[in-house]
Structure 1
Amino acid sequence: MLTIGGLVFLMLCVFGSFMASGGAIGALIGSMPFELLSILGAAIGTFVMANSMPELKHAVGGFIKTIKGPAFKKTDYVDLLSLLFFLVKLATTRGAMALEPHIEHPESSSAFGKFPKISANHHVTVLICDYLRMVGMNADDPHQIDDVMARELKKILNEELHPAHALQTMADALPALGIVAAVLGVIKTMSHINEPPSVLGEMIGGALVGTFLGVLLAYGMVAPIASRLRSIIIEESKYYELIRAVLVAHLHGNPPQVSVESGRKMVPSEHMPTFQDLETALQAIEMT
């Protein structure tokens, strides 16, 4: 909602100050549809040219993400830590083979069933099960697992950041596309050079609207959206890094409580549960 609120405030300030200073808003609005068609049409065309269909769909999802904000809140991190605590404690007390019913069929696992949101997240479920499965296959070198997970999480982060990079590239191009629209307006004006100054002045003003819109769209809309999307994706990546921290700490031979505490330290400060909050959640897991 902050994104929408900021956009509304931006538009009010830009156009409000123009009108308050005596600007003719009618002339601006009259030229805007054609200039927007030229600029946005060119921007969308170049965006489509530069990206594949999956990447375009990903970009649409990224735009929605900027409106909704980060997907994971404090309760989500507590749930993930609780699930990992249950799994690593089970592996510690009963051996890695005791995990097999949970990691081979997570959809029917009693452990995953306690946390429906985690079960519904395919990427998180697969990440947990794959690496616990590797541990069951005697791939229990913590340094090796840490290295493999780090590379996979880096790959996932780069893929998730692509929409933000694509939007930033569009933002960088929009001022130039605005100049293209302005040049077209100047060419149109020059073809009517015999018209009176009042007509030429209006046509030149309409041409400059293209430059104005290109800069406004770039630095006032698309670039902030790209920046916001990037920050959201980086914040959400901590959710996956938490899994890595817990599993690596577990493979180093730490008790389950210590392993989970290592994961808690990866939670963004805004959503980090206190030690007491997590302890209460873990005690509830132990009693069930």
Structure 2
Amino acid sequence: MDILSLLGIILAFVAILGGNLLEGGAMGSLFNAPAGLIVVGGTLAATILQTSWPMLKRALRQVRWVFVPPYINLEDGIGKVIDWSVKARKQGLLGLEGLAEREPEKFARKGLQLLVDGAEPEAIRSIMEVDLESREERDLEASRIYEAMGGYSPTIGIIGAVMGLIQVMTNLEDPQSLGSGIATAFVATIYGVALANLLFFPIANKLRSIIKERTRYEDMMIDGIIAIAEGENPKSIELRLRGFLQ
């Protein structure tokens, strides 16, 4: 669990609701069903319209990374590669076959299997870099969906505000209906701006940082596997890979 992400969302709600209370506002004044329907429904509709179904599913799967990110530890990765290199020097590349079968990481398992199969270093690099780059691009494209939602929601909020003001202007002779129209107008704007800046944009940025960190980890794994294929000694491999920690 990423405690910082959870803390950030809690602080966002505390700041908005607490500030409203300190100014003497009623808690219920920030809850408006028509405004919520306009902003949330409109934002989702615009996002669905621009996105393919496979990419939308990928984005929905990704959002859990905000709270439960994939395990990425460069120190552990370096230790794993060093263990592989030691075993390869003692038993040859075929000695890695058992490790490849038990390796839980799909990307590392693919690299190990290429080593065991006797692929040339350049072939290993080419195959693994294509895998890495294609997945990175798809993940970044999925994360941009949340950035798009952050762009749509303030605009949809303005639409909600205008609709509320239209309601006010068409019912000037009925004072009792003015309050709900004005409330929808202002609360819709708050919803749109708050969702964009407290939720959608932060989610997009968080996902991008996770994707970049995973890419750095897998770049390191590629370098380590290539070094093993070229027969470098474990100490030299360790010194090379520690450059990724800078």
Give the TM interval when normalised to the shorter protein: 0.7 to 0.9
Give the TM-score, by structure 1 length. 0.73
Query: Counterpart amino acid of 2:165?
Result: V
Query: What secondary structure, in the 3-state scheme, does the structure 1 residue paired with 2:67 have?
Result: helix
CA contact (8 A) 1:70 1:233 kept: no
Match of residue 11, structure 1, among 8, 13, 19 = 13
Alignment of 1:53-202 (within 5 A): 53-73=53-73, 76-78=76-78, 80-86=80-86, 88-89=88-89, 94=92, 96=93, 98=94, 102=97, 109=98, 111-112=99-100, 119-130=103-114, 132=115, 136-137=118-119, 139-141=120-122, 145-146=124-125, 149-196=128-175, 199-202=177-180
CA contact (8 A) 2:227 2:237 kept: yes
CA RMSD of aligned residues (A): 2.7
- Listed as ranges, the gaps of 5+ residues in structure 2 are none
Question: Shift in Å at residue 20 of structure 1?
Answer: 0.9
Rounded to whole Å, the distance in 2 between the matches of 1:188 and 1:87 is 75
Q: What percentage of aligned pairs have identical amino acids?
A: 23
Rounded to whole Å, the distance in 1 between the matches of 2:53 and 2:89 is 43
Distance 1:3 1:140, change over 3 A: closer
Give the TM-score, by structure 2 length. 0.85
CA contact (8 A) 1:36 1:210 kept: yes
Question: Shift in Å at residue 215 of structure 1?
Answer: 0.3
Rounded to whole Å, the distance in 2 between the matches of 1:182 and 1:10 is 22
Rounded to whole Å, the distance in 2 between the matches of 1:252 and 1:124 is 17
Q: Deviations over 1:240-287 (max 9, x none)?
A: 1122111333455522331243234325x6xxxxxxxxxxxxxxxxxx
- Listed as ranges, the gaps of 5+ residues in structure 1 are 103-108, 270-288
Match of residue 24, structure 2, among 16, 19, 22 = 22
| Count of matched residue pairs | 244
CA contact (8 A) 1:28 1:206 kept: no
